[in-house]
């Protein structure tokens, strides 16, 4: 699985802590971690939490990523921005129980975490435990197990509701503020990761025109 990590500007100083915690858990399980930035507070390309959502939507809908890990100060802003995108089902994860239940019940494709609120002593251990609960277990198995079928049905209904209420991602990309889109894809490693992994040529072609403009 290709896991995209996205860090917004207010929490960029913690980028290394989050990346280390994620890679230490995900890579031994056979997953790839692609860090789309920010990397430091001094990065020229600055990401806000609305950009986190837009970038998550782009990566997931183009299949450049299979899962997105993002966040902000409280995790709430990035969660809202991600869930505004078509095909993105993002959970707010604060602790390992949240991570486990989100994976088992909701089986979404993105999480948003608080990297300021409650981010204190041994925060990196909490991050690792969250990632373990999320990625070590088969997702979507249900909790409690006897409600697995009902939960799977409800996930399908939510997916149908989102498909009915959202435009497709290419339409979103063409409709949003183009300066916002340019800023969201301005990270120093975006082109390296995105074009190597994108599986939607129409989206890739449009992104190339944006980058060239």
pTM: 0.96
Q: What is the mean pLDDT of the chain?
A: 97
pLDDT of residue 146: 93
pLDDT of residue 54: 98
Residue-wise pLDDT tens digits, 67-123: 999 999 999 999 999 999 999 999 999 999 999 999 999 999 999 999 999 999 999
Q: Report H helices in 48-189.
A: 49-61, 76-83, 96-101, 123-135, 148-165, 169-175, 178-184
C-beta of residue 95 within 8 angstroms of C-beta of residue 31: no
pLDDT of residue 45: 96
Structural domain count, the chain: 1
Which domain CATH number covers 55? 3.40.1400.10
In what helix (H) or strand (E) does residue 143 lie, and over which residues does it extend? none
Domain that holds residue 179: 2-212
pLDDT of residue 68: 98
């Amino acid at each position: 699985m290709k896991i995209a990590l996205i860090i917004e500007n207010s929490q960029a100083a913690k980028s290394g802590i989050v990346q280390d915690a994620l890679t230490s858990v995900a890579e031994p399980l056979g997953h790839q971690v692609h860090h789309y930035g920010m990397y430091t507070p001094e990065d020229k390309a600055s990401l806000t939490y609305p950009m986190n959502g837009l970038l998550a939507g782009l990566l997931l809908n183009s299949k450049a990523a299979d899962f997105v890990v993002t966040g902000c100060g409280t995790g709430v802003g990035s969660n809202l921005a991600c869930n505004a995108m078509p095909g993105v089902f993002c959970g707010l994860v604060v602790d390992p129980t949240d991570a486990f239940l989100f994976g088992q019940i909701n089986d979404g494709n993105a999480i948003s975490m608080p990297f300021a609120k409650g981010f204190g002593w041994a925060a990196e251990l909490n991050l690792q435990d969250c990632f373990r609960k999320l990625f070590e277990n088969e997702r979507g198995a249900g909790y409690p197990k006897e409600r697995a079928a009902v939960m799977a049905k409800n996930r399908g209904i939510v997916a149908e509701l989102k498909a009915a209420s959202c435009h497709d991602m290419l339409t979103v990309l063409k409709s949003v503020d183009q300066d916002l889109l340019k800023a969201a894809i301005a990270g120093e490693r975006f082109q390296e990761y995105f074009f190597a992994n994108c599986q939607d040529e129409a989206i890739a072609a449009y992104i190339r025109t944006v980058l060239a403009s």
